[in-house]
Structure 1
Amino acid sequence: MLHKKITSLIMGAMLVAGCDSPTTTNDTISASKKPAKQETQLSLLPEAEKRLDIYIPVRLEADLSSYSDNQRKMLKLLIEASEIMDDLFWAQAFGEHKDAFLARLEDPKVRKFAEINYGPWDRLDGDKPFLTNTEEKLAGAEFYPPDMTKEEYLNSDIKDRNTLYSMVSRDIEGNLLDIPYSEYFADELYEASHLLKQAAELADNSEFSNYLRMRAEALTTDDYQASDMAWMDMKNNPIELVIGPIETYEDQLFGYRAAFESYVLLKDMSWSERLAKYAAYLPELQKGLPVDEKYKAEVPGSDADLNAYDVIYYAGHSNAGSKTIAINLPNDEEVQLAKGTRRLQLKNAMQAKFDHILMPISKQLIVPEQRQHITFNAFFANTMFHEVAHGLGIKNTLDGSNTVRGALKEHASALEEGKADILGLYMIEQLLNKDVISEGQLEDYYVTFMAGIFRSVRFGASSAHGKANMIRFNFFKEQGAFSRDENGYYSVNMEKMSTAIAALSKLILTLQGDGDYDGVAKLVADKGIIKDSLAADLQRLADANIPVDITFEQGLEVLNLN
């Protein structure tokens, strides 16, 4: 799909004419491209051999017999639009065209591993190269010129430096400029937009049809807020689509640029009905957060909802490396304050991780007498309330100078993920005390959460989720929330776990509210690392051949939609 990547614009005439903020058009796109990556021979590094089997394949099938012909046609169009998001993410993450790159890999196992990682870097091993003739991955991926420094960017003439929806390039004089996605990827986004408009014609749910049209428009204008609002208004559509440039984790230089991704989902009506009651408690839980009043003055939207889905297609960022099992969107702070967020629990992917990964881990690392507390209901709830907890806390710094995301830059995502994990546990404890949650007991949620940390830290400490997991693990260890016996089994101390949760919640919420970049950087440096004793325990999991994550067999053929 994306055969060439635009990396410079012919701005000469405009610069000569003295334009302060030239507008780009197709006529200004330079025929001068970034030199193609040399077609050198690529082979697997010897030390990476053991990594090729860390993913267990899961087939994303679904019974579509109850769906109408129009719905099945619509699903086909949504998947085709998602495939375009996949190509665009390859361009943002790696740059070299997917097919050309994969053609340079003879071994099918190595080729599959490269597909999963969207390039030659192992996403679950700190982005280490696993192929020969491969340089270190750029912190800014392909969002910025490879020779650009942070200082150059911060001192540039780019007006909106923390914009989500542009690629940064250079003009013919070498000056930095940002090019909106809608221009940089114009052809591909036009095609995806057309597919969404076709799908909208087939949708029998008016709210979903309206959203598809608005999202189609957003892809070609870079203005996503209106479609985010429309997405929040959808309540009863049995088919769901999350598509566009959304999360900023791939930009580890600043955490500004959003990466393209997509999910096509089918709503599980019965499970969704069980979850609907929890969203109403958000304002009450916000008031009870264990932090000074000024750090919880914002009132989260109460129009949020919780629903369960089965995923039938992942694309782009959501499909790279570790697989998402829950979604909390939109990320737009204004939309969140106005309407809250929607939390989508991806039940079939969650069940696969529980069965193939979490349960085997618990047999290796959790004391036998606490293993009875590891349940799928607790795993589902911990994951769900992580997403709900994104709506708690504060979105703008107390001094009003910036959003939390803008103030904390590249550390914002790691701290936000840490906040969601810890406040999710806080919420569960509060709702159990109120008898709102009736399934299980607090031990189930705490012990399952502990086992979940071991599952997640195997993703490495380079990603936002990885750093968040390590900060929490090391903080809990210092607080005595868990202990490790002479046989290498971990057990949870219930009383100290509750105290540690409150203390870490207060720390994170305060750092966010203060916009304390230096404080967060110190926290990440001190605690966002995997120490030797834990590394040895994680090696035990590898030696036991427990998968690190899942990968998908998916698409039109798997679903019989061709």
Structure 2
Amino acid sequence: MKKLYKANILFYTLAISAGLLSACTNTTKPSDGKTTNVVQKDSLIGYVAARLPIYERVKLTTNLNQLSVNDRKILPLLIQAAEIMDELYWKQAYPQRDSLLASIKDEKTRDFVNINYGPWDRLNNDKPFVAGVGAKPEGASFYPYGITKEEIEKSTLADKFGAYSIIRKDSLGKLSVVPYHVLFASELQKASSLLKQAALIAEDEGLKKYLNLRADALVTDNFTASDYAWLDMKNNGLDLIIGPIENYEDKLFNARTSYEAYVLIKDKEWSKRLAKYVKLLPELQKNLPVPAKYKTEKPGTDSELNAYDVVYYAGDCNAGSKTIAVNLPNDEKIQQEKGTRRSQLKNAMQAKFDKILIPISKELIDAEQQKHIKFDAFFANVMFHEVAHGLGIKKTVTGKGFVRVALKEQYSWLEEGKADVLGLYMVTGLLKKGELQGDIKDYYTTFMAGILRSVRFGVSEAHGKANMQCFNYFKEKGAFERTAKGTYKVNFDKFAMAMNDLSAFIITLQGNGDKAAVEKAQKAMAIIPAELQSDLDRLTRKNIPVDLVFEQGVDVLGMK
């Protein structure tokens, strides 16, 4: 551990010694050589005072009476395992947490550091809010600090783009790879033991098998068997997503994964209502608005759509903006063979709708169209975003292998953009077939409001870039207009045309595996125009929250 973080420790120690609570008016040099402005505030406390209110506090609770006696015994064990994932994510995102927090006496500032898992404001384009810290390293702690992409690409390391390892450099400059299960052996063994204990209590055979296999996977980094077992679970009331899963934190190569966990309780009634939609994927795939060569793949139909109440977030999914729906596993081979599970986090989704989307709509959506902002439309748009990850193309048509591999660090934001627009495409198609109820105007207007909600997260991460691509593309196509009153009004006919055009544009980029073309699209479209920024600033002045922060745990659930 000491060798791994040696460069980073020096870097952050210098930052801390520069004075955490001093005036933040200097500039620093990030690793790409560009100048980044540190927070222009009189003090760290002043910046936090302005930024902390953008988060609305929400208690994560549910009706525990729906669980069996044994499931209520298992639940605390799952939360304990999730808490370990949170600790591991801190070590990946900002390993100097303890020394940073020890230097801060102000409670609100400590809260803000904890929300962001470090000294960079995740919902303000990763702006550093601690004097002297400088830009957030693109490779987090997955790579030696200051190393270039070219140095890694030219190396002979066997696992240089591995999902479950880190790269470190010794005193002689030699690079080596360390697997997660070696680097974090102690913590992972504790988490594994907790899952084994839970498996002993579990009554549902599917859950029992999954917990045992996932426990083994955590200490070996071999996740395939447990991913299959997770998809095979059908009748479980409890669910757990745990491990190193998403690669958003690795902005250098989009390769290495971060630890996270969700502890979930299934809403079986809602889940039954959603079950039919996955079976329609093959037909929707055939009708995608792209040439035939880009839609020859057959999406898996053994996937599930389920609704859950989430009772615990940990690690990557809890950093900055909070996830409200999940589509897993990420393994393309498993997706093609068996599909995925799309998990809708209903209670978190409802909280975002009530506390954020409705207030935004009242401020920025045309008065005549505000009647079309509805929770059912919001739920469906988010749900079909996750389903739409199964549509389109996983392998390039140009012989470059999987799209993820061909596009590297450009993959995630474009894939999220695909899911946004193909989710809307699915809604449109299902309404026409009579498989979905409601008015298309509800879905389109709520989608527009959803973009205005999501772009407030900034463009430092994949979802933000995807949202801005959609906003700018739709604006260019006349899918909406900004009225003289400073509100947004949807043109429903042009909205549908822009949806099809953007779908074709993204799927073609993915199918071609042309990384340079994707980089060009990002630079041109994944930006926030000044006019839109001024509108978003209006929301801030109105004290409309940007996102949620959770009060969670066994005590919040009333289990102590």
Q: Same fold (TM over 0.5)?
A: yes
Find the counterpart in structure 1 of residue 549 from structure 2.
551
The 1-side partners of 2:506 and 2:416 are apart by 10
Deviates more, 1:390-399 or 1:375-384: 390-399
Q: For structure 1, list consecutive stretches of 5 or more residues without a partner in the other structure.
A: 9-30
The separation in 2 between residues aligned to 1:69 and 1:351, in whole angstroms, is 28
1:332-411 equivalence runs, <5 A: 332-411=331-410
- State the SS of the aligned residue for 2:246: coil
Q: State the match for 1:488 in structure 2.
A: 486
Query: Does the CA-based 8 Å contact 1:5-1:33 persist in structure 2?
Result: no
CA distance in 1: counterparts of 2:61 and 2:428, whole angstroms: 35
Structure 1 CA distance for aligned equivalents of residues 292 and 100 of structure 2: 53
Deviation at 1:62? Answer: 2.2
Deviates more, 1:64-73 or 1:136-145: 64-73
Contact 1:5-1:95 within 8 A present in 2 as well: no
Question: Is the contact made by 1:282 and 1:300 (CA closer than 8 Å) also made in structure 2?
Answer: yes
Give me the whole-angstrom Cα distance separating, in 1, the residues matched to 2:345 and 2:372. Answer: 22
Contact 2:8/2:145, CA 8 A, preserved across alignment: no
Task: Confirm whether residue 93 of structure 1 aligns to residue 96 of structure 2.
Answer: no
The DSSP-based 3-state class of the residue aligned with 1:65 is helix
Counting only pairs closer than 5 Å after superposition, residues 386-465 of structure 1 correspond to structure 2 as 386-438=385-437, 440-465=438-463
Q: Is the 8 A contact 2:48 2:108 kept in 1?
A: no
1:108 positional shift: 1.1
Structural mapping, 1:11-22, within 5 Å: none
Distance in 1, matches of 2:299 and 2:312, equals: 31
Cα-to-partner distance string for 1:198-226 (whole Å, 9 max, x where unaligned): 11111111011100111111111111111
Letter aligned with residue 77 of structure 2: L
Query: Is residue 8 of structure 2 the alignment partner of residue 7 of structure 1?
Result: no
Alpha-carbon distance, 1:52 to partner? 1.7
Q: For 2:527 and 2:281, how far apart are their aligned partners in 1?
A: 32
**1:197-254 superposed Cα distances (whole Å, 9 cap, x missing partner):** 1111111110111001111111111111111111111111010000000000011111
Match of 2:256 in 1: 257
C-alpha distance in 1, partners of 2:530/2:510?
30
Q: For residue 65 of structure 1, report the CA deviation from its aligned partner.
A: 3.2
The correspondence of residues 56-67 of structure 1 with structure 2, limited to 5 A, is 56-67=56-67
Q: Is the 8 A contact 2:160 2:167 kept in 1?
A: no
1:34 Cα deviation after fit:
5.3
Deviations 1:125-156 (A, max 9, x none): 00001122322110111111112100001001
Q: Distance in 2 between matches of 1:36 and 1:196?
A: 37
Residue equivalent to 2:273: 274
CA-CA distance at 1:303 after TM superposition: 0.3
Q: Counterpart amino acid of 1:77?
A: L
Pairing of 1:197-276 with structure 2 (within 5 A):
197-276=196-275
Alpha-carbon shift at residue 101 of structure 1 (Å): 2.6
SS in 2 for 1:157: coil
8 Å Cα contact 1:200-1:209 kept in structure 2: yes
Q: Is 2:514 aligned against 1:524?
A: no
Asked if structure 2 preserves the Cα contact closer than 8 Å seen for 1:243 and 1:262, the reply is yes
| Alpha-carbon distance in structure 2 between the residues aligned to 1:168 and 1:556 | 37
**SS state of the match for residue 65, structure 2?**
coil
User: Which residue type is aligned with residue 545 of structure 1?
Assistant: N
User: What is the Cα deviation at residue 5 of structure 1?
Assistant: 5.4
Asked if 2 retains the 8 angstrom alpha-carbon contact of 1:6 and 1:33, the reply is no
- Indicate if the aligned counterparts of 1:5 and 1:91 stay in contact, CA closer than 8 A: no
Rate the CA distance shift 1:6–1:392 in 2: closer, same or farther, 3 A: farther
Give the C-alpha shift of residue 48 in structure 1.
4.9
Rounded to whole Å, the distance in 1 between the matches of 2:305 and 2:489 is 31
Q: Give the match's secondary structure for 1:391.
A: coil
**Secondary structure of 2:330 counterpart:** coil
Deviations 1:36-87 (A, max 9, x none): 8425342253455411211000001222234334212211110000001001
Q: Is the 8 A contact 2:48 2:112 kept in 1?
A: no
Cα RMSD of the aligned pairs, angstroms, is 1.5
Q: CA–CA distance in 2 between the matches of 1:206 and 1:32?
A: 47
For the 8 Å contact 1:121–1:129, the answer to whether it is kept is yes
User: Alignment length, in residue pairs?
Assistant: 535
Supply the distance in 1 between the matched residues of 2:9 and 2:101 (Cα, whole angstroms): 20
Secondary structure of 2:309's match? strand
Between the aligned partners of 1:559 and 1:109, the Cα distance in structure 2 is 24
d(CA) in 1 for partners of 2:240, 2:366:
41
Counterparts of 1:195 and 1:358, CA distance in 2: 38
